[in-house]
Chains A and B, each alone.
Chain A
Amino acid sequence: MSTIITRRTLLAGAAASSALPLVGAQAQAPFGVGFIYVGPVGDHGWSWTHDQGRKALEKEYGNKIKTSFIENVAEGPDAVRAIRQLAQAGDQLIFTTSFGFMNPTIQVAKQFPKIRFEHATGYQRAENVATYNARFYEGRAVIGTLAGHMSKSGQAGYIASFPIPEVVMGINAFHLAAKKVNPNFKTKVIWASTWYDPAKEADAAKALIDQGCDVISQHTDSPAALQAAEQRGVFAFGQASDMKAFAPKAQLSAIVDDWSGYYIKRVKEAMDGSWKSGDVWGGIKDGMVKLAPYNDAVTPAARAAADELQKGIVAGTIHPFTGELKDQKGTLRLKAGETATDEMLSKMDWYVDGVQA
Chain B
Amino acid sequence: MLEWRRRREPSKTMLYLSPLIAIGLTMLTGMLVFGAIGFDGLRAVTAIFITPLIEPQRWADLGVKAAPLIMIALGLAIGFRANVWNIGAEGQYVMGAIAGTGVALLTHDMTGWWILPAMALAGILGGAAWAALPALLKVRLQVSEILTSLMLTYVAVQFLYYLVRGPWKDPDGFNFPQTKMFSGSQTLPAVAEGSLVHFGVPLAILLALIAWFVMSKTVAGYAVRVVGRAPAAARHGGFDASRVTWATLLAGGGLAGLAGLFEAAGPFGQLTPQFPVGYGFTAIIVAFLGRLSPPGIVFGALVLAVTYVGGEIAQSTVRLPSAATGMFQALLLFFLLATDVLVRYRLAWKARPARSAP
Contact = CB atoms under 8 A, between A and B. Distances in A.
The reply, when asked whether chain A contacts chain B directly with Cβ atoms under 8 A, is yes
A315 interface: no
A164 interface: yes
Nearest to A13: B194
Contacts of B317: 68, 89
A100 B274 contact: yes
Most buried by A among B65, B195, B312: B312
Interface stretch (A2-10, A142-150, A182-190, A321-329): A2-10
B161 to A, nearest CB: 8
B321 A71 contact: yes
Contacts of B275: 76
A91 B313 CA distance: 13
Nearest to B61: A81
B309 interface: yes
The bracket for how many chain A residues form the interface is: 35 or more
Nearest to B316: A68
Contacts of A163: 175
A80 B272 CA distance: 15
Interface string A71-83: 1111111101110
Given A15-B57, A75-B274, A70 B315 contact: yes
A25 to B, nearest CB: 16
Interface in A91-144: 91, 99-100, 103, 123
Contact of A164 (B176, B193, B277, B309): B176
Given A100-B274, A163-B175, A72 B61 contact: no
A69 B183 contact: no
A135 B125 CA distance: 46
Nearest to B321: A71
Contact of B64 (A77, A85, A100): A77
Nearest to A346: B174
B175 A71 contact: no
B322 interface: yes
Interface in B302-350: 308-309, 312-313, 315-317, 319, 321-323
A11 interface: yes
B193 A10 contact: yes
B196 A82 contact: no
Nearest to B318: A68
Given A11-B196, A70-B316, A78-B277, A162 B177 contact: yes
B205 interface: no
Interface string B34-68: 00000000000000000000000100010011000
28 contacts: A1-B181, A1-B269, A3-B184, A11-B194, A11-B196, A34-B316, A68-B315, A71-B315, A72-B322, A74-B277, A75-B272, A76-B272, A77-B267, A77-B268, A78-B308, A81-B61, A86-B316, A89-B317, A100-B272, A123-B174, A162-B165, A162-B177, A164-B177, A165-B174, A165-B175, A346-B174, A347-B174, A349-B174
Given A1-B269, A89-B316, 17 more contacts: A3-B187, A7-B187, A10-B194, A11-B196, A12-B194, A18-B57, A34-B316, A68-B317, A72-B322, A76-B267, A76-B268, A78-B277, A81-B65, A85-B312, A100-B272, A165-B174, A346-B174
Interface of A: 1, 3-4, 7-8, 10-15, 18, 34, 40-41, 68-78, 80-82, 85-86, 88-89, 91, 99-100, 103, 123, 162-165, 168, 193, 346-347, 349
Q: What are the 6 A-B residue pairs with the smallest beta carbon separation, nearest first? A: A77-B267, A1-B181, A10-B194, A3-B184, A72-B322, A11-B194
